Amino acid sequence: MPCGMPGTRLASPSPERVLVRLQRSGGLAGFTVRSEVDSAQLAPADRAHLERLLGAADLSSTPPPTRGADRFQYDLEVERGGRVQRTTAFDGALPPGLQPLIDWLAARRAGGPPR
């Protein structure tokens, strides 16, 4: 299992192209849902918003182990300038600042298929 791979907080907003891929799996239903955003395809305002969300998300922290079952599993991948940062987190124990990024990516998915 990829779990809380070490990384560093991303730098402050930059004009560099960034690719963000999010996979949500698990949950009671066990569906896997994927989202991907390419900053080069975004309007300037959305690009700036994405950079703010990435800047606020602490992707380097290792989330505490969670109790329970049927929680969503999030696998996030941020690619910038040839460097890829990955993190895995579970619903209810997300690293600081990650929830708004997840919500934004989910909202952009706009009703795609659940798999």
Partner 1 sequence: MARCVGACFIVPPFVLERVIRDGTPEQREWALATLLDDHSIRAQRIHNALVLRDRGRARQPLSPAPGGHPKRTIYDAHQQQDAEASDVVRREGQPAVGDKAVNQAYDGLGSTYQFYWDVFHRNSIDDQGLPLDGVVHYGDHYDNAFWNGARMVFGDGDGYTLLQTTAAIDVIGHELTHGVTEHTANLTYLGQSGALNESVSDVFGSMVKQFALGQTSEQADWLIGEGIVGPALHGKALRSMAAPGTAFEGDPQPAEMRHYVHTVSDNGGVHINSGIPNHAFYLVARELGGRSWDHAGPVWYDTLRDPGLRSNATFHDFAQVTVRAAQHRFGSGPVSNAVRDAWNQVGVTVP
Using the minimum distance from each CB to partner 1, give the nearer residue, 15 or 115: 115
Answer whether 17's CB lies under 8 Å from 38's CB: yes
* Per-residue contact string for residues 38-67; x = within reach of partner 1 by CB under 8 A: ----------------------------xx
Query: In this structure, is the dihedral angle defined by the CA atoms of residues 57, 71, 78 and 32, taken in order, positive or negative?
Result: negative
- CA atoms within 13 A of residue 39's CA, in its CB half-sphere: 22
At closest approach, how far in Å is the CB of 73 from partner 1? 6
Angstrom distance (rounded) from CA 99 to CA 53:
9
* Per-residue contact string for residues 71-100; x = within reach of partner 1 by CB under 8 A: xxx-x---------------xx------x-
If DSSP codes are grouped into helix, strand and coil, which group holds residue 44?
A: helix
Using the minimum distance from each CB to partner 1, give the nearer residue, 46 or 91: 91
Q: Which of 15, 43, 82, 115 binds partner 1 (CB under 8 A)?
A: 115
